[in-house]
Structure 1
Amino acid sequence: MSDPLPTDEPLICSSRGCRAPARWALRWNNPRLHDADRRKTWLACAEHRSTLGDFLDARGFLREVVPVAGSPTLEG
């Protein structure tokens, strides 16, 4: 099961206070709380991709990072 991304609203970065358009979907789960196939999604702009990803990765939660549909693929 995965959490669908809203399609009728602009996709905004999940970083606190950021209102930039999302370019990346950080797909994650907490194995202590979620089934193995469950994915939660945080959205990230180019500036916050690494900080949000590092936060999730340090806890062992990050599963994948994918470009948001309709956004250009960014390197880095």
Structure 2
Amino acid sequence: TGKEIKKARDDFKISSMLEKEKEEILEIISSDDNFYKIEENEKEINIKILEIEEKTLELKKLKKELLNLKKELKKLKI
């Protein structure tokens, strides 16, 4: 009958829409994997930045010590 055909057509449209949404969700999930990889890389980069900042501080301290030693040496030469 016409009602059954219409119902079957509507059911087909709904299942098609659900399938499309399922594909979109799967695409989002797979792109989330990339997001997590990027996030992981970002964490590694931030760790490296912190290491560099620590090394920079150490170098500044050493430079200051060197300058102080230079001053002391100058005093001793006088």
TM-score (norm. length: structure 1): 0.20
RCO higher in structure (CA 8 A, sep ≥6): 1
> Greater strand share, 1 or 2?
1
> Greater helix share, 1 or 2?
2
- Asked which structure has the greater CA Rg, the reply is 2
TM-score (norm. length: structure 2): 0.20
